[in-house]
Amino acid sequence: MKLATWNVNSVRARKERLLRWLEKHRPDVLCLQEIKGSEEDFPRAETTALGYYTAIFGQKGWNGVAILSLTEPQAVERGFGDGTDDGQARLVSADVGGVRVASAYVPNGQSVGSDKWSFKLAWLKRLRAWLDRRSPAEPLAVCGDFNVAPDERDVKHPALWERSVLFHPEARQGLQHVMDWGLQDVFRRHHQEGGLYSWWDYRMLAFPKNDGLRIDLVLATAPLAERSTAASIDRDERKGVQPSDHAPVLTEFDLGRPLSGSGAPGTGGSHAAST
């Protein structure tokens, strides 16, 4: 299964790029963030024509997340589903191909100490609470723009960014708390070096200088992460005319391989007659 995530920074502005990217990579699942529009603004006819189902949680003007998939998403949930709806479309989840997939757009936080900063830290706690209602023994992936770089390798200038909302110790702690539930950074299972980023500021020649951060992540529970076979960042998608400021992140999983320690009958193909 190919599972990807991409903050498109407006699906209307990125429509042609999105469609070309889907044609080229054909992921089984693509999580989108910052579609910046309501469900009616989404180019559903075009993505449907490419064979994709859509689970959209839109919002006029801001935020907005979606899951595109080649098989029909089941049990779609918009938001945290815990009665704390705040009018911000930042989380959508669904069962796709036996995996619970979430597309998350963590608040930016604007500036340390601001109301938005408090909202960001609180949102990460709500995400942890949402996870607490599930089990890390299940195949689950939270994909998206976390607006937090996990560690020093993920930031070009860590000392400079430490005071910013994207790499502040408190934000990193918030992300760690989410991961401590039982999520692994799939990209880091396949790449250990620094300098590999997923976001570059539009300003100050950040991209040509590779002055970026890795804030777009695919986090997976152990049963899923252990089946990952590859991960990459499509840096080329940041180039050219009218790019998003984020690059897509691609991961791949071999779901056919039996899971060690799994006692679930009828799954994994261990009893299948086919060779």
Residue 105 among the catalytic residues = yes
- The DSSP secondary-structure symbol of 209 reads T
Does 118 interact with DNA (rule: CB under 7 A)?
Answer: no
Does 103 interact with DNA (rule: CB under 7 A)?
Answer: no
**CA 243 to each of CA 7, 17, 21, 99, 101: distance values in angstroms, whole numbers, following the listed order:** 11, 8, 12, 30, 26
Residue 85 among the catalytic residues = no
| Dist. CA 7–CA 198, nearest whole Å | 10
Which of 39/62 has CB closer to DNA?
Answer: 62
Q: Which of 250, 181, 190, 194 is nearest to 217 (CA)?
A: 250
| Dist. CA 104–CA 141, nearest whole Å | 10
What character string, x for contact with DNA (CB under 7 A) and - otherwise, covers 29-48? -----x-xx-----------
Q: How far is the CB of 218 from DNA (least distance, A)?
A: 17
| Dist. CA 53–CA 139, nearest whole Å | 21
Out of 10, 71, 121, 230, name the contact with DNA by CB under 7 A. Answer: 10
Task: Given the residues 53, 105, 185, 197, select the one marked as catalytic.
Answer: 105
Which of 107/182 has CB closer to DNA?
Answer: 107
Binding positions for DNA, 153-212, rule CB under 7 A: 165-166, 199, 201-205, 207-208, 210
**Cα angle 30, 31, 36; round to 5:** 125
Does 232 interact with DNA (rule: CB under 7 A)?
Answer: no
For 274, residues 6+ apart whose C-beta sits below 8 A from its C-beta are none
- Catalytically active residues, by annotation: 105, 145
Residues forming the site for DNA (CB under 7 A): 7, 9-10, 12-13, 34, 36-37, 60-62, 107-108, 110-111, 116, 145, 147, 165-166, 199, 201-205, 207-208, 210, 213, 215, 239-240, 242, 245-246
